[in-house]
Amino acid sequence: MSEPARFAPWEDPDAKPLIRFRGVTKRFGTFTAIDGIDLDIFESEFFALLGPSGCGKTTLMRILAGFEDPTEGSILLDGNDLAGAPPNKRSTNMMFQSYALFPHLSVFDNIAFGLRRDRLPAGEVRARTEEMMALVKLQDLTDRRPHQISGGQRQRVALARALAKAPRLLLLDEPLGALDKKLRRETQFELMDIQERTGTTFVIVTHDQEEAMTVATRVAVMDHGRIAQVADPTGIYEAPNSTYVADFIGDVNIMKGRATPADGTVSIEWAEGQPALRCATELRLEKGVTAFIAIRPEKVSISSRRPGNSPNAVAGRVLDIAYLGNVSTYHVEIAGGQVIKAQTANTDRVARQEFTWEENVWLYWSETAGIVLER
């Protein structure tokens, strides 16, 4: 059995993007909401936009949908400039953050709304609408009004309505924001399933980094109207390009110090009188520059005795223990007062907690556990 080809058109220099942003900037008065974005999104991608509140995610979506015009730059869809095309002339559809279902129309009529605007024959509209209702499992709710169904059902109506016209590009602005965690999880998988079956290109906005990691083929982390990094979920998590991205995605320990490069590794002096930390890197750093090491808590081990031959070992004192069921996170204060998080998996139900508050412990990790960052 051969491995299915990995879906990664962004690595193929000949691949033609479905959407191409070229230097897109959007200003509201003097405020720059989107700041010179260059970005390619490919056919059949599930592209996630991630970032703190106010960083411009919704604005970027609204530019794509045609509700806002970029102040500078252009957007190409299939190589054609979208400038001046109104929302009703674009082959994009949007699922709104608030769902924006028409309260005076039934579930069926909501989903059929876009199809009817295309003047399709009634039979075709009915068939396509029913197909969509089956896709999102809403067959039993045909005649209900939006206020007569649950939040999760409303969200699926909104999805079906946006999908019904088979858009080239589907924009989802925090589609799952209103759902509880369990329903959210289920819906994420449903979304991925639908995306795979329809082959539609999805761009999803989310606040929830876990959601982005779960559903997306690629994730873009935004910061003040700029894109800090675009990569696949593993790349974003394991190889962030800045402390901003590392800090935004998941939990991370960041240690700052002066770099001394060696062959393939770098040593970071992070505190007076402490041995330097060693970390593998491909970066070529000048001697003496400030650099950071970012290490995920699950890659930090904890022990009561000094580890024998670990390249990085730091002594500390347990400040706090967070028991999360599947894992425990130890907050350990090290020299200089910095708190480092170390995570252990709870693999045995009755094993007692190994360390307690105020206990002196050692933290250690390998050379390849962390990543060296310049900023």
Partner 1 sequence: MRRLLIVAIPYLWLLAFFLVPFVIVLKISLSDTALARPPYFPQLDLYAGWTGVRDFLSGLDLENFAFLATDALYWKAYLSSLRIAAVSTLIALLVGYPIAYAMARANQSWRPTLLMLVILPFWISFLIRVYSWMGILGQEGYLNQLLIGVGIISDPLTILNTNVAVYIGIVYTYLPFMVLPIYASLGRMDESLLEAAEDLGCSRFQAFRLVTLPLSRPGIIAGCFLVFIPAIGEFVIPSLLGGSGTLMIGKVLWEEFFSNRDWPVASAVAIVLLLILIVPIIIFQRNEQRRQEAES
Ligand X SMILES: Nc1ncnc2c1ncn2[C@@H]1O[C@H](COP(=O)(O)OP(=O)(O)OP(=O)(O)O)[C@@H](O)[C@H]1O
Beta strand extents in 224-307 (DSSP E only): 226-231, 253-261, 265-269, 277-280, 290-295, 301-303
Least distance CB 67 / partner 1 (angstroms): 6
The one among 4, 29, 79, 103 contacting partner 1 by CB under 8 A: 103
**Nearby residues of 267 by Cβ (< 8 Å), 6 or more positions away:** 259, 260, 261, 276, 277, 278, 279
Cα 193 to the chain's mean position, in Å?
18
Q: Assess contact for 161 and 114: CB atoms under 8 A.
A: yes
Footprint of ligand X on residues 183-242 (CB under 6 A)? 207
* Beta carbons of 339 and 298 less than 8 angstroms apart: no
Assess 195 for contact with Mg ion (CB under 5 A).
no
Binding part of the chain for partner 1, among 26-34, 84-92, 317-325, 344-352 by CB under 8 A, reads 84-92
At 203, list the tokens: 């761009």
Identity of the residue, 66 or 311, whose beta carbon is nearer to partner 1 in the bound complex: 66
The one of Mg ion, partner 1, ligand X, none whose footprint includes residue 104, by CB under 5 to 8 A per kind, is partner 1
Q: In terms of CB distance, is 113 or 244 closer to partner 1?
A: 113
The residue type at 348: D
**By CB under 8 A, what part of segment 154-213 binds partner 1?**
161, 165
Of 59, 153, 195, 329, the one binding ligand X by CB under 6 A: 59
Q: Is 28 among the residues that bind ligand X (CB under 6 A)?
A: yes
In three-state secondary structure terms, 296 is coil
Q: Which does 337 bind (CB under 5 to 8 A by kind): Mg ion, partner 1, ligand X, none?
A: none
Among 98, 234, 346, 356, binds partner 1 (CB under 8 A): 98
Nearer to partner 1, 96 or 330 (CB): 96
Q: What H or E segment, with its residue span, contains residue 28?
A: strand 19-28
Helix (H, G, I), strand (E, B) or coil at 362: strand
Nearest to partner 1 of 104, 197 (CB atom): 104
**Between 203 and 277, CB nearer to partner 1:** 203
Kindly state the tokens that stand for 112: 């059929």
Residue 86 vs 308, nearer CB to partner 1? 86
What span, in angstroms and rounded, lies between the C-alpha atoms of 352 and 361? 17
Residue 105, token pair as written in the block: 């129309």
Q: What are phi and psi of 114, to 5 degrees?
A: -70, -35
Residue 54 sits in the site that holds ligand X (CB under 6 A): yes
DSSP state string for 178-222: TS-HHHHHHHHHHHHHHHHHH--EEEEEES-HHHHHHH-SEEEEE
Given candidates 113, 185, 208, 250, which one binds partner 1 under the rule CB under 8 A?
113
User: Which CA distances in Å does 196 have to 177, 201, 229?
Assistant: 22, 9, 25
Sequence-distant (≥ 6) Cβ neighbours of residue 224 within 8 angstroms: 35, 55, 56
The verdict on 143 binding partner 1 (CB under 8 A) reads no
- Tell me which of partner 1, ligand X, Mg ion, none is bound by residue 59, counting a contact when its beta carbon lies within the kind-specific cut-off of 5 to 8 angstroms: ligand X
DSSP 8-state assignment for residue 5: P
Please identify, using beta-carbon distances, which residue of 96 and 364 lies nearer to partner 1: 96
Work out how close the CB of 371 gets to ligand X at its nearest, in angstroms, rounded to a whole number.
27
Stretch that binds partner 1, among 85-93, 191-199, 316-324, 331-339 (CB under 8 A): 85-93
Task: For 359, list phi and psi in degrees, rounded to 5.
Answer: -75, 145
Q: Cβ 339 to Mg ion, closest distance in Å?
A: 32
Residues in contact with ligand X by CB under 6 A are 28, 31, 33, 51, 53-59, 207
Residues in contact with partner 1 by CB under 8 A are 65-67, 86-88, 92-94, 96, 98, 100-104, 113-114, 117-118, 161, 165
